[in-house]
Structure 1
Amino acid sequence: MSKKKSVKRPTPTALQREVDQLDRELAALIQQRADLIQVATELKAAGNTVDGLIDDDQRIESLAQKSRGALPPQEIRSIFREIFSGCRNVAARLKVAFLGPEYSYSHQAAIERFGQSAELVPVATIAAVFEEISRGTCQFGLVPVENSSDGRVTDTLDMFAKQPLKICGEVQLRIHHCLLAKCDRAAIREVYSKPQALSQCRNWLAKHLPQARVCEITSTAAAAQLATQQAGVAAIASRAAGVNYGLNFAAENIEDNPRNVTRFAVIGNESGKKTGDDKTAMMFQTEHKPGALADAMNIFKRNRLNLTWIESFPVSGGDQEYLFFVEMEGHESELKIRRTIAALEKKTIRFEVLGSFRKMTPTD
């Protein structure tokens, strides 16, 4: 009977040498990529078609799905998001407006989409995000559209009605709320957060902190900052806010809905490029008469379009008149959507294609 051969394990010194060599190779390859993206950006500015080298989402998703090893897909996405963000900013500094302040969920979503090498610009209101794009001071903006627990974000729909910029991307972010404080949970007398976050944790608060006074504030990050300054005050905010402000985690994942997701729209001046896995958003208003809405909605059925989102929104100053926001599977360049657009333009009194963009899955 033959003896089993033992596998020789590398020594710690050999392992360290191998890791150091890989680190040097990685740094050199990242620099080579940055140089190529700089050339691609210059070619694009000169009118050449090189979008495939510059558009990041599809490439990152493909790398995450095909990668095999100890790192899960989400970690691969995060690593390549930062590499791509840094390479892109060597050629042209990207400015992105988001609903601030920093360490809010909007800030977290902006990092998820653009990476931290982009210049992320916090502004005070959703309207201000739209204004930054319209004035040309930022190339992109990021605004919340809907939450799986609380529904639509009224301020965002109102701005699309007033200033219909293009949706060119989306971020679906799983929202995990933390109870943050300087004191122990037993000493908490007041809990601050924005109304939506408080609403998403109302059952947990009623069960675990029934005596605490619930107070509304403008943002989750502002609540976290307040919790650092006042005794007995806690905040409902993100993990990132807790780490940044040095707060204790009195409880984590306190959202009532474990599948709590907020969807953000990336807005700019152009639609996203066709990827083969897209959605298209539209906004329209019909005449205020019997059957007008049914006639418009039948157009989607005739063209075999699957709607993924529909919202009604009252027209400002109107008398029981509504705008309708819809999303469907497919890109606006596809024939069946072009037919739908042509038919809706005839059946509506106001119509806007808000943009096409790649479908994204929720991320933590």
Structure 2
Amino acid sequence: MNLDDLRNQIDSLDSEIVKLLNERINVVLKIGEEKKKEGAEIYVPSRERAVFDKIRSLNGGPLPEESAHAIYREIMSAALALETDMKIAYLGPEATFTHQAARNKFGVSVDYIPTSTIAEVFDRVANRAADYGVVPVENSTEGAVTHTFDQFATTPLKICAEIYLPISLTLLSRHRKDEISLIFSKQEAFGQCRAWLAGNMPNAKLSPVESTTKAVQLALETPGAAAVASVMASDMYDIEVLAENIQDMQGNTTRFLIIGQDFSAATGNDKTSVMFGVKHKVGALYDALSVFKADNINMTKIESRPSRNKNWEYYFFVDIDGHADDPEVKRALEALQEHCTVMTVLGSYPKAEM
């Protein structure tokens, strides 16, 4: 075939692809109508996982797996936007890592609502001003985001999905590196690139602000200033990248949670999050955690936070492998309840790929 023949073949394939995409959307809209009749959730994480797994198994190349995933993410995003006026609240403003994580999960077609605090994300979802919320919960370098854990102690909302986002930090400025005397960023971002900044920008003053996006805005307004932020912020605010991947640890990753009104159905590869308190006596926590060992359930995380009800009493947050509806997990949770003064299953949801 010559070049014209190959281009004609592309045109023919594009026509078929567009036709099939619209046929797929029409089926999705019918499914959406049935969900609304039943009062069911439009976004179903377990079904999303099944679709991605199916696409992965069908894709024989040469299309890369990551590209196939990205394409279908946007196909499903368009479908969600057509099924309902879906709104996603997130810890803003725009171009923060939470915004990036939200878009990685829900695509570009749904509506996003930036908030100034994690508490506001929870409030908007609880009051149904947003369908879902996206909040950070832990970073592989800096540890837990305690504000997120604290919110779960006072809300009926559930965790329905999780996201792992590799954090790549960049130095952004409209000045040359040797002209920079002041660097803005979020405190956590400074913590993740402290050694690089000390070695490469030793004379620059570090000024913490509430978000990496605010840092970029200030860097654009302030003479001799730069910002540590994401490359997404560079694109959005048209500011030059002076250095990439300046985080001290490659592989630095933040975990985000998707919160909603209910948690997901089982997929066979799930995680369950539980919050509980124990009696103030010797061995109480040991006795509580032993229920997971008894049923051979792997505990992947434990975090403690003050209960705020009484001094020196704590809530414990635990992640375990499995779904709350799995027989062994259900049995373990029932046993855990006997050791606790309070116990809540915060959610069961598909494990995200790290």
Match of 1:261 among 253, 261, 278: 253
Tell me what 2:135 maps to.
143
* Residues 245 and 28 of structure 1, relative CA distance in 2, 3 Å threshold: same
Alignment of 1:268-307 (within 5 A): 268-307=260-299
Contact 2:88-2:112 within 8 A present in 1 as well:
yes
Contact 1:44-1:51 within 8 A present in 2 as well:
no
For residues 13 and 24 of structure 2, the distance between their equivalents in structure 1, rounded to whole angstroms, comes to 16
Alignment of 1:222-233 (within 5 A): 222-233=214-225
Unmatched 5+ stretches in structure 1: 1-9
Segment of structure 1 superposing worse, 37-46 or 47-56: 47-56
Contact 1:164-1:352 within 8 A present in 2 as well:
no
Listed one character per residue, the Cα deviations across residues 50-84 of structure 1 (whole Å, up to 9, x for unaligned) are 99899323312431354232332222111110011
For residues 331 and 121 of structure 2, the distance between their equivalents in structure 1, rounded to whole angstroms, comes to 32
Q: Does 1:167 align with 2:146?
A: no
Tell me what 1:29 maps to.
20
Tell me what 1:124 maps to.
116
Segment of structure 1 superposing worse, 52-61 or 313-322: 52-61
Match of 2:71 among 79, 101, 107: 79
Q: Secondary structure at the match of 2:153?
A: helix
Tell me what 1:344 maps to.
336
Q: Secondary structure at the match of 1:81?
A: helix
Contact 2:164-2:253 within 8 A present in 1 as well:
yes
Contact 1:40-1:54 within 8 A present in 2 as well:
no
* Residues 316 and 53 of structure 1, relative CA distance in 2, 3 Å threshold: closer
Instruction: Please state how far the C-alpha of 1:318 moved relative to its aligned partner.
Output: 2.4
For residues 59 and 36 of structure 1, the distance between their equivalents in structure 2, rounded to whole angstroms, comes to 14
Alignment of 1:106-121 (within 5 A): 106-121=98-113
* Residues 61 and 122 of structure 1, relative CA distance in 2, 3 Å threshold: farther
Instruction: Please state how far the C-alpha of 1:309 moved relative to its aligned partner.
Output: 1.0
Moved runs in structure 1, 4+ residues, more than 4 A? 48-54
Listed one character per residue, the Cα deviations across residues 121-162 of structure 1 (whole Å, up to 9, x for unaligned) are 111110000001110111111100100000000110110112
Contact 1:37-1:53 within 8 A present in 2 as well:
no
Q: Does 1:309 align with 2:301?
A: yes
Listed one character per residue, the Cα deviations across residues 303-335 of structure 1 (whole Å, up to 9, x for unaligned) are 111011111112214221111100111000011
**Which amino acid in structure 2 is aligned with residue 41 of structure 1?**
G
State the aligned residue count: 353
For residues 54 and 336 of structure 1, the distance between their equivalents in structure 2, rounded to whole angstroms, comes to 20
For residues 121 and 151 of structure 2, the distance between their equivalents in structure 1, rounded to whole angstroms, comes to 10
Q: Does 1:357 align with 2:325?
A: no
Match of 2:37 among 46, 49, 54: 46
Tell me what 1:7 maps to.
none
Segment of structure 1 superposing worse, 340-349 or 253-262: 340-349
Tell me what 2:61 maps to.
69
Q: Secondary structure at the match of 1:205?
A: helix
Segment of structure 1 superposing worse, 44-53 or 71-80: 44-53
Contact 2:162-2:349 within 8 A present in 1 as well:
yes
Alignment of 1:195-274 (within 5 A): 195-274=187-266
Q: Does 1:319 align with 2:311?
A: yes
For residues 247 and 218 of structure 1, the distance between their equivalents in structure 2, rounded to whole angstroms, comes to 19
For residues 166 and 46 of structure 2, the distance between their equivalents in structure 1, rounded to whole angstroms, comes to 27
**Which amino acid in structure 1 is aligned with residue 35 of structure 2?**
K
For residues 208 and 71 of structure 1, the distance between their equivalents in structure 2, rounded to whole angstroms, comes to 39
**Which amino acid in structure 2 is aligned with residue 147 of structure 1?**
N
Match of 2:146 among 138, 151, 154: 154
Contact 1:97-1:122 within 8 A present in 2 as well:
yes
**Which amino acid in structure 2 is aligned with residue 139 of structure 1?**
D
Unmatched 5+ stretches in structure 2: none
* Residues 296 and 223 of structure 1, relative CA distance in 2, 3 Å threshold: same
**Which amino acid in structure 2 is aligned with residue 292 of structure 1?**
A
Q: Secondary structure at the match of 1:162?
A: coil
For residues 275 and 346 of structure 2, the distance between their equivalents in structure 1, rounded to whole angstroms, comes to 7
The structure with more radius of gyration: 1
Instruction: Please state how far the C-alpha of 1:236 moved relative to its aligned partner.
Output: 0.7
Q: CA RMSD in A?
A: 1.8
Contact 1:203-1:256 within 8 A present in 2 as well:
yes
Instruction: Please state how far the C-alpha of 1:191 moved relative to its aligned partner.
Output: 0.9
